[in-house]
Amino acid sequence: MNLRRGIAAAVILLGSLTPAMADDIGDAIGDAQKAYKAGDLGAAKQALDLASHLIAQRNAEGLAKAFPGPFKGWKAEEAETSANAFASFNGSSATRRYSNAKDETLSISISADGPILAQMVMVLSNPQLAGTMGKIIKVGDRSAIQDRDGDITLLVAKRFIVKIDGDVKTDEKLAYAKAINYAALENFK
């Protein structure tokens, strides 16, 4: 009975968005609504799962807007986005890789949402716990963790984890960390 109520609530909530969305997400929500009304809970759940995955994909594509362009002497690959639909990892992520003429590489990853991320948020938002993961540093006005390899991890808007890593010097990682468009993440919906 709880499954039926949960699906009904999701169909009603998401169904109210359908007229504003003429796309795959809206279509999946509409399919869920039709299946639910026909009494096919399995098809309704499957359609809602698809809608959830499509929303995560769209979110991942939006995360890529926060990546900085390559610095002088550097090249950047296109951002790679991912929407993970597995129950324990449900969330969105985007990664962009950078390289220079010395064949040094740097990678910036942004992860959003998901149950595991929520646990990381608890650790990163507590300076005493975060300090056990490495040295606490400032990136602009933000606190970050820098590990032994100089990799940098930041929590943004208690929703995003940003990680900068690679085989470059720490100051280059820090420069890229400062160049990320944090306002784009803070205003991300």
Task: Give the three-class secondary structure for 29.
Answer: helix
Asked whether the beta carbons of 152 and 164 are under 8 A apart, the reply is yes
Over residues 65-90, mean pLDDT: 80
pLDDT tens-digit series, residues 137-170: 999 888 899 999 999 999 888 888 899 999 999 9
pLDDT tens-digit series, residues 47-57: 888 887 787 77
Asked whether the beta carbons of 35 and 44 are under 8 A apart, the reply is yes
Q: Report, in angstroms and rounded to the nearest whole number, the Rg of the chain calculated over CA atoms.
A: 20
3-state helix, strand, coil in the chain (%, to 5): 45, 25, 30
CA angle in degrees (0–180, nearest 5) for 54-63-188: 90
Q: What per-residue confidence (pLDDT) applies to 87? A: 39
Q: What per-residue confidence (pLDDT) applies to 84? A: 63
One-letter amino acid identity for 81?
T
pLDDT tens-digit series, residues 112-132: 876 777 777 787 778 788 878
Strand-pairing partners, residue 166, are: 106
Over residues 63-78, mean pLDDT: 94
Q: Checking DSSP bridges between strand 105-112 and strand 135-139, what pairing results, if any?
A: unpaired
pLDDT tens-digit series, residues 17-49: 444 444 888 898 888 889 899 988 888 888 888
More confidently predicted of 97 and 157: 97
Q: What per-residue confidence (pLDDT) applies to 131? A: 79
Residue 14, pLDDT > 50, answer no
pLDDT tier for residue 105 given thresholds of 50, 70 and 90: very high
